[in-house]
Chains A and B, each alone.
Chain A
Amino acid sequence: TKIHHNIKVLVVFSTAVRKLSLSSGSRPKVCIVGGGPAGFYTAQHLLKAQDDVIVDVYERLPVPFGLVRFGVAPDHPEVKNVINTFTQTAQHERCFFHGNVNVGVDVTVKELKKAYHAVVLSYGAEANRCMGVPGEDLAGVFSARDFVGWYNGLPSNQKLNPDLNCETVVILGQGNVALDVARILLSPLDMLKKTDITQHALEALTASRVRRVLIVGRRGPLQIAGTIKEVREMINLPDTTADMLPADFKGISETLKGRNAEQNSGTYFCFPCVSLPQGSGEDAKAVPTGQMEDLECGMVISSIGYKSLPIDPCVPFEHRGAIIPNDMGRVLDTAGLYCSGWVKRGPTGVIATTMNDSFDTARVLLKDMKEGTLDLSVNKPGAQEITALLQERGNTHRNTQKKKNADCTLFSRKKNTLLTNSQKFKTF
């Protein structure tokens, strides 16, 4: 099955003939906003549990899969294997993928609610948390999100041009994204060459003078948001020394005062902590000590978390936690509206977390269908109506020819990688 890039705004990905012949008059129709893991796992569960539901997935980019495509580090291709499951879902005869549709801009949520029995918001977290400290906007200060987008080929980050002509990089935050960035900055080039990292990033890293990466966190080692696998990978990274300040481990374990592995070429990273935490466990709070230290560096990458944004005035949004207020996936105070994934829970967790969460939302939606909370007796037009609206508005959009070429290149590079990763599961 090929992706057909339509010059117009809408991209429809399907085995066209077989699907269009499906008569869809009185079937339940669900619209999912966001074609990442949350969207596809929600779709998967709905399609399996309800044998007449039609699911339309709308995605802002021309290609699906969200952060699995653009957020997973290039040296973790196995994490992207879930794409095979999503592809199978997308190829389901009752599932349709619509790329290049920016919900909230090209079409409103109100219009979607009118056309569908239910709308599920799974559009994730597209912004990043800010520190709110002076200097955040200086040249050489990047969000981890943009940096990752740069080496992963996200079109909007193509021109990022980070200057790697410096010896030291400071990363703020100690989650898996911070660890990924550190690992990519310090990985031996032989390793990077075998991945699907973008060409321009590979060239920049080849010329890079970065030898030292400091991964800075507010609390202590037991509070880091990263998982053990990523920490272990850093420690085991060839030609790299892991440096953990003994003072940060005071009171945790005597074992860790041991020296590091043999000193190799002098690239190293360390985890200096800004302050020792008060309290213990995951609720330990960072308490400022008043001590200041200057760290000289050529680049700062802020990796303190992603953040969801409100999509549409008719959708409630809780700004403090940057999520859509909901009760087990049902958006509060709004009938027919649901949410799954990071926009529901906050931007943390691994893919399996999102999977379980998406299944939960799907179950709640199915329950509402069964109990009549969602009125299925009314026929809804679904994609037919939305497609017509989009085509009407198509002429007001930006130069899609230029965008089409860039995205085709991107997509064919990624696609080749996808196809080599699995023989056992069906791919497209």
Chain B
Amino acid sequence: MSLSAAARRLAGWSVVLRSSSRTLPPLSRECVQRRDITSSSVVQPLRSENKVTVNFINRDGEKITVKASPGESLLDVVVDQELDFDGFGACEGTLACSTCHVIFKEEVYKQLGPISDEEMDMLDLAYGLTDTSRLGCQICLTKSLDGVTVRLPEAVADIRQSDGSA
């Protein structure tokens, strides 16, 4: 646990101690249903004539443009469009990893919905974390995000010589 992450979080601990409820950011119903893949409810894809354009900048710096429906999360888009991002979305959108980490431009980042504690906990562990990072499985497309560009962080190659000091 990095020192800065810990310091940032310790300030919030007194709040955590008092409340025991977990709150998720408010989202459209469609988005909540789609994310809940552990339940047995059938997921209805949102049929919409209003598609949204999303641009992904992959780890090699290449731009990939796709069309998606409002309500889909960025992870859904990557999966449905079969975009070739190695290891993206390992936990399948259940907030148990950080592999769907994407980076936004600052103006867009500010417009996004609030980040939950659970998302922050996972994001803290992500490689190449920035101030405008979010987990793709938690960001659902809306019409106002039409044309958005997100960047995948470069995976950090461990260039240190392993000396077993972990």
Cβ 8 A contact of A236, one of B16, B37, B90, B162: B16
> How far is the CB of A120 from the nearest CB of chain B, in Å?
15
The answer on a CB contact under 8 Å between B11 and A323 is no
- Chain B contact residues, CB within 8 Å of chain A: 1-3, 5-7, 9-11, 13-14, 16-18, 20, 22, 37-38, 43, 79, 86-87, 90-92, 94-99, 117-118, 120-122, 124-127, 155-159, 161-166
Instruction: Assess A81 versus B166: contact at CB under 8 Å? Given A227-B125, A232-B117.
Output: no
The answer on a CB contact under 8 Å between B118 and A258 is no
Residue of A whose beta carbon sits closest to that of B127: A356
A258 surroundings in chain B (CB, below 8 A): 14, 17-18
We find that the number of chain A residues with CB closer than 8 angstroms to chain B is 64
Instruction: Assess A232 versus B158: contact at CB under 8 Å? Given A222-B6, A282-B3, A421-B38.
Output: no
Q: Mark A390-428, 1 if CB is under 8 A from B, else 0.
A: 000000000000000000000000000000111111000
A81 surroundings in chain B (CB, below 8 A): 90-92, 94, 96
User: How far, in angstroms, from A140 to B120 measured CA to CA in the complex?
Assistant: 38
The answer on a CB contact under 8 Å between B1 and A228 is yes
Instruction: Assess A84 versus B92: contact at CB under 8 Å? Given A258-B17, A350-B97, A352-B99.
Output: yes
The answer on a CB contact under 8 Å between B121 and A318 is no
* Total A-B contacts with CB atoms under 8 angstroms apart: 149
The answer on a CB contact under 8 Å between A318 and B164 is yes
A356 surroundings in chain B (CB, below 8 A): 87, 127, 155-158
Instruction: Assess A48 versus B86: contact at CB under 8 Å? Given A352-B97, A356-B156.
Output: yes
User: How far, in angstroms, from A334 to B14 measured CA to CA in the complex?
Assistant: 53
A344 at the interface (CB under 8 A from B): yes
Q: List 10 additional contacts besides A227-B1, A321-B162; criterion CB under 8 Å.
A: A229-B122, A232-B117, A238-B20, A261-B17, A347-B166, A355-B99, A356-B158, A359-B86, A421-B38, A422-B92
A265 at the interface (CB under 8 A from B): no
27 interchain pairs, CB-CB under 8 A? A48-B86, A78-B38, A78-B91, A78-B95, A81-B91, A84-B92, A227-B121, A228-B5, A228-B120, A229-B122, A232-B16, A258-B18, A260-B17, A261-B17, A321-B163, A326-B162, A328-B158, A345-B158, A345-B162, A346-B164, A346-B166, A350-B97, A352-B90, A356-B155, A360-B157, A360-B158, A423-B43
